[in-house]
Amino acid sequence: MKKIVILTITAMVLTSGAFAQKKIEFGVKAGMNMAQEYTDDGSTNSRVAFHAGVFAEFFISNRFGLQPELQYSMQGGKDKEGTEKFDYVNLPVILKIYVLKRDLSIDVGAQPGYLLSAKRTGMGDVSDIFDNKFDVAVALGASYKFADRFHVGLRYNIGAIKLVDRLNYRNRVSQLFIGIRL
């Protein structure tokens, strides 16, 4: 898993030089998470929390952009026994495919992440149950840019890595966000 994170960061650094001649925009974003934990037995109820971070968009052409992000994300889920609160630092790398000028985009990419903390109601720290603190999700969504500086979007992140092997435990997170280009 560490190899995937290292390769992703390396790819971002190497490709950033290739886009140096193109337009680059920076910004901040924040929004709501509806997070669930998924296992072979089903999924938990959603935990509503938030995420926030920064982004840079490298415009490859009028139809494509590459947007790496760095974000703090509150994830987890709820069940009959309580709430699980997981805090992650995520590094989404999103390919933006513009379908309406540079306003409406379809967004696809990968989201490596690292678990910072894991707590469960009444139990405290439960990070020791995780076999893998690194996560990778497939990110799918759309965003709409308006008033030149703002954009809103939806994204669904589907965990691709088993975090708890014996349960085939994975994250799933729906995000609604607003961003401001600086």
Query: Which residue range is the domain that position 85 belongs to?
Result: 2-181
Q: How many domains does the chain have?
A: 1
Which pLDDT score, from 0 to 100, does residue 108 have?
Answer: 98
- Closest to 88 (Cα-Cα) out of 40, 48, 134: 134
Q: Tell the burial category of 182 from Cβ atoms under 10 Å away from its Cβ (0-12, 13-18, 19+).
A: exposed
CATH number for the domain harbouring residue 163: 2.40.160.20
First CA to last CA distance, the chain: 33
- Low-confidence spans in the chain with pLDDT less than 70: 1-22
What is the structure's pLDDT at 100?
A: 79
Q: What is the pLDDT of residues 123-165, one digit of tens each?
A: 999 889 888 899 999 999 999 999 989 999 999 999 999 888 8
